[in-house]
C-alpha cells in the first residue's frame, strides 16, 4: 500500500519559515519525481515545486521562486519543502505527490498525500 504522509504544517507569522516533510512508503521512492502542490480555499490546486528522482533537477513555481526550496533524502524516503519569507497568500493545504515523470501538471502524479495545513498570519 502506497502512502505519502506530509507533516510540519502549522501557523506562522508573515516573514517566518516552516519546513514540511513528505515521507513515503510502499513505493521505490528513488524512482519517483516528487512535487508539492497547494490549495487555498475556493481555489484550484496549484503547483509549487518539484524535485527529480536523484535531486539533480528542481523547479519552482513563479509565486515561490527565491523563497521555497526542495530537497530529498532517498535513504529516508523523505522529501523536504523549506519555506522562507512566508506571506499570507501562501496560506493553503500543502500536498506532496509522487510521479514517474518531471511535470508541473497534477495529472502526471500517481500518488498523493492527505495534505498539511499552512497558515500565515499578517
Taking alpha carbons only, the member of 107, 110, 89, 115 closest to residue 36 is 115
Q: How far is residue 99's CA from residue 78's CA, in Å, rounded to a whole number?
A: 14
Instruction: Find the Cα–Cα–Cα–Cα dihedral 7, 1, 48, 50, rounded to 10°.
Output: 110
Average the pLDDT over 94-108 and give the result: 97
* Measured CA distances, 117 to 17, 22, 39, 96 (Å): 14, 13, 9, 12
Q: What is the chain's alpha carbon radius of gyration, rounded to the nearest angstrom?
A: 13
With bands split at pLDDT 50, 70 and 90, how would you rate the model's confidence at 32?
Answer: very high
With bands split at pLDDT 50, 70 and 90, how would you rate the model's confidence at 13?
Answer: very high
pLDDT digits (tens, 9 = 90+) for 56-69: 999 999 999 999 99
Enclosing H/E stretch for 94: strand 92-99
With bands split at pLDDT 50, 70 and 90, how would you rate the model's confidence at 50?
Answer: very high
With bands split at pLDDT 50, 70 and 90, how would you rate the model's confidence at 9?
Answer: very high
Residue 4: the pLDDT is 98
Q: How far is residue 91's CA from residue 11's CA, in Å, rounded to a whole number?
A: 9
Amino acid at each position: 500500500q502506497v502512502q505519502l504522509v506530509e507533516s510540519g504544517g502549522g501557523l506562522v507569522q508573515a516573514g517566518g519559515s516552516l519546513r514540511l516533510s513528505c515521507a513515503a512508503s510502499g513505493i521505490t521512492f528513488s524512482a519517483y519525481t516528487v512535487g508539492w502542490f497547494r490549495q487555498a480555499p475556493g481555489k484550484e490546486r496549484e503547483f509549487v515545486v518539484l524535485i527529480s528522482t536523484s535531486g539533480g533537477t528542481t523547479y519552482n513555481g513563479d509565486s515561490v521562486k527565491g523563497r521555497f526550496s526542495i530537497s530529498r533524502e532517498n535513504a529516508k524516503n523523505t522529501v523536504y519543502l523549506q519555506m522562507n519569507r512566508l506571506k499570507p497568500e501562501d496560506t493553503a493545504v500543502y500536498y506532496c505527490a509522487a510521479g514517474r515523470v518531471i511535470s508541473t501538471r497534477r495529472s502526471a502524479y500517481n500518488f498523493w498525500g492527505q495534505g498539511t495545513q499552512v497558515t500565515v498570519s499578517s
